[in-house]
A and B are shown apart, each in its own frame.
Chain A
Amino acid sequence: MSDLTRLHASDLAAQLADGSVTSVEATQAQIDRIAAVDGDLNAFLHVDAEGALATAADVDARRAAGESLPTLAGVPIAVKDLINTVGQPTTAGSKILEGWVPPYDATVVTRLRAAGLPILGKTNLDEFAMGSSNEHSAYGPARNPWDTGRIPGGSSGGSAAAVAAFEAPLALGTDTGGSIRQPGAMTGIVGVKPTYGGVSRYGVIAMASSLDQVGPMARSVLDAALLHEVIAGHDPRDSTSIDAPVPSVVEAARRGDVAGLRIGVVREFAGEGFQPGVQRRFDEAVAKLADAGAEIVEVSCPSFTHGIAAYYLVMPSEVSSNLARFDAMRYGLRVSPDGNPSPSAEQVMAATRDAGFGDEVKRRIILGTYALSSGYYDAYYGSAQKVRTLIAQDFTAAFEQVDVLFSPTAPTTAWRLGEKSDDPLAMYLEDVCTIPANLAGVPGINVPIGLADDSGLPVGGQFLAPAQADERLYNAGAALERLVPAPVLEEVVR
């Protein structure tokens, strides 16, 4: 038998459907793979072998009984530990939620269960999804399988590392400022941030409510589309969920044709700060798209360069409010202040939040508290909300000229652990290409475009499309994937 862990989800699904392999076999293979490599990767915070195998056995039994099953039934998946799962801890990568087991499933998890996907476990992340490197996890960083001395990107670094290292064929991530696409780029896999409102946020621990979105991570564009179709669609429990049919992403991923497609290259996403090896791979990808019949148009989106400034006001403001509920009263960690035998609730809250939150979380809470405080609201939060509008207007203008935008996903390839830890602002600047999509609510995809010739590490290209036109991402992404095959990891590089 070939190595089941190396199969794309679509191929595994086909083999499950024709009976040549069982879900229990496929799931067990992933569990064995996790046991073999996760000591080096720390991609998983929790592995639920028993639960995953039970789901797999159930799917196998139903299939044997002749039941008609959803496409991905029996294909195992890893879930970012920001997404609530009954029966498995959900920590958000934070000490403040250590050991917390949610009493309810996120809607996306309910949909995974209904579609018969065995859930292998929960993946590592920057604490509360705040970071671009996974170094802000309270449980130690996940590592990049291309070089375990390097970061896998973040915040969905655990999901990215797990998929890239064949620990899982599929994973769920969340993307608030690039947290699916950027780790996708760093580890050489596909990752999609759907249109805001396209996938339910119910049961997904909120970082920044107006920016967060759950999305698929996989080793092929088609796999991502298949997973997208499982999790997307209207959810009455999420008031920001779009009540409209899910874009036909699977069909688009199967089509993958850029002939006649107008592709806009964003002028602002090049030059200073962009690693030459990244730029070269990107330019080659553009050339190949042109060869395949795409019309390449240079477009300017001047407001995009202000995305980081707006993002680092909007996001921390919402963070400061969303994370207020972690107060030691109803769930999670409770810490008493030192040397106080009879502390008040207020003192316990403050001590717990100091002990339970990491530096990056505290930094953003304080920043957001400042941005919202009276006297500063208009200058900071209010202005940032207006910059969002300017960015959205740039998108609207661009999409009048072109069908999709194309840019590098991240300006650099994966950096060494600790390399940027002392300079939060430098880390923030890594998100320059991904943030505008979150601010405007439009969808984006990372597609691997080879290894950089200067670092030997994966490079990602990003397509962006208008809101609710997610299928354009899959069409362009699938075409690019054929033109520029994704780099294949032979073995984890220790």
Chain B
Amino acid sequence: MANYIGSSLKRKEDRRFITGKGTYTDDIVLPNMTYAYIVRSPHAHARIKAIHTDKALAHPGVVAVFTGKDLQDDGVNPLPTGWQITDSMIEPPHPVVAVDRVRYVGDPVAVVVAESRAAAKDAAELVEVDYEVLPAVVDATKAIEDGAPLVHDEAPNNLSFTWELGDKAATDEALSKAAHITRLEIINQRLIPNAMEPRSAIGDYHPARDELTLYTSSQNPHLIRLLMCAFVLGIPEHKVRVISPDVGGGFGSKIFHYPEEVIVSWSSRKLGRPVKWTAERSESFLTDAHGRDHYTVAEMGMDEDGTILALRVNTIANLGAYLSTFAGGIPTWLYGTLLAGQYKYPHIYVQTKGVFTHTTPVDAYRGAGRPEATFVLERLMDTAARELGMDPAEFRRKNFIPADAFPYETPVVLTYDSGNYEGSLEKAMQLIDYKKWREEQAKARNQGRLIGIGISCYIEACGIAPSKVAGAIGVRAGLYEGASIRVHPTGQVTVYTGAHSHGQGHETTFAQIVADGLGISPDNVEVVHGDTAQIPFGMGTYGSRSLAVGGSAIWRAVEKIREKAKKIAAHKLEASEDDIVFEDGKWVVKGTDRALTLGEIALTAYVPHDYPEGLEPGLEENSFYDPSNFTFPFGTHISVVEIDPETGKVQILRYVAVDDVGNVINPMIVEGQVHGGLAQGIGQALWEGAVYDENGQLLTGSMMDYAIPKADDLPHFEVDRTVTPCPHNPLGVKGAGETGTIASTACIANAVVDAVSHLGIKDIPMPLTPERVWRAIHGK
């Protein structure tokens, strides 16, 4: 049997991507199409006194101008949120288009639909909105103070929820007895996702058939259909088709149900013509859900020997102006449950306050809660080791969950299924030559040079999730995945997956699985995703779940095909079913050379002239897979940086990533995912950060002021792995999409602080720009 699993096959999808032949939503041009431009609030907080649309309506080429009131009067409901964090969580309505108040710069206030994009944009400038500007609050720590401007009247102190996990009394007691407490105040700054393809949506309603097709740049087409049909528009789900064609990156920001999807769908129903909207880059900055934005106080207590006793974490999470689709879950369940990391913590207590502000809504961004948790933990680890006079690697090793302790239950409700933390630390230290760099560091210090070594040991809970657990923690959805495999009469195969590829290479990885599973070449496997009319159902791609959950669903369907094929083979080969085995890609009569290939079996299934009694013709199987647990990738990253004391500029000299993502289907794709994740994580550590002024104006609203990393900012990445297969899914895989982001931010921050710690510097807030590092070094 050809072993495609485990080989670095070139990506099938790249032929169209690198030749510019991809089809993204904005590439789709439909007959009679119109274009929407959205008038957005320039104020962070204001009352809408009046909207005058007459001048815009009179503009040549304008088809219609809609305001929030038009949608409201037509029965359009607010956008729902999909994750209830506490029973008392306050969920203020999120109107698709603002009606009487705007709550962040970028909040939609009117929609102009015209014959061309240019006419829509010109006319949008003629929409006059009378605002009464109201005071705004952008900082979550200020928003919960008494007397702060209220984002929603129904949320006193701007608090949506206070969530907690762990045993508070036991944690407090353990900390009170600790010989040493390490305390850090951490700002995990707000990030802007910046997918390469801006969001785009087309609503295409056919009045005669009463059918709506929504094309949308989404990671999650089935969920968008469900939310929009059942909650927002109240239209029948079976009359709506959602297609997410090629999507150019998401990083979480395209999971959510956005106002524009409703706007184009509703407008198209009103006008009986297709309506397209595509974000300008400036709109992407303002309206794609942002990430992170935590203020945290973390305290970790140790005994005299440096054994960890307890961890207490209090976090204030900025949710932005409205609850985005999964907003509540990110700074709570996807964060608090990860706070044990790789360590034996007898006690952990975490509390998160979710707070509204007059800013863009915040939701999942690559890693989603887990990078924030890792940052808290790994900064604490390094700081504590320094305070205790221990080597940071030694301090971690002392407190690791040992390799023989799995399954391991943490004080924050997760049960880790597997792990070998010492193994990955050891491997990373060898690869980078840790001992040598400590010597180099000492030498450099004597010469006045600043070299720092940063370690980050992380755990991730991904492959989300068992639906039972999802339900128990307030997710208003199941988290299984669907797949269907259609074997055509010629033996070629189409795979329909509910996962959605927007850069992950599913068309290749999934084809490799099916190829090995059915004894064919990946060239004979086509993977279809992103179309609710073709795929039974799907939960989309996020949380590194595509392979662990979607891939497992595909594998289950493969097994069903194999079972049926076995029956056909037994009949054709005149053998007992028990004697048929799948070997070397064929169905073989055990111990003989009599065998059939998939092609031969498929032909029989569709031309069943000679066919087993009672067996249905055809060869097609559906499967839904609901995992029994999360998967738990882990690893160690180590970096070495040198800081120029004159300028504060950080140069990364080495970066070693040792990840354990379980079995690997396509090493090249995994490596690519790790590289991308590293770039984004290092981006947060060194350059990225959304900045609002005190009135709620986004100051970093373009790539001139929001610095995303470029290739020449980044070092050569040395990527390696250990392999501890996931014990509970059929492929033994865990997910690799987020590990890089989760580990690298803390890794670099630790290295930078390590480089300057001998100057008495305990912490520098991110992003660690030359200015901030220079100020820290020079005490200015």
Do A and B associate with each other?
Answer: no
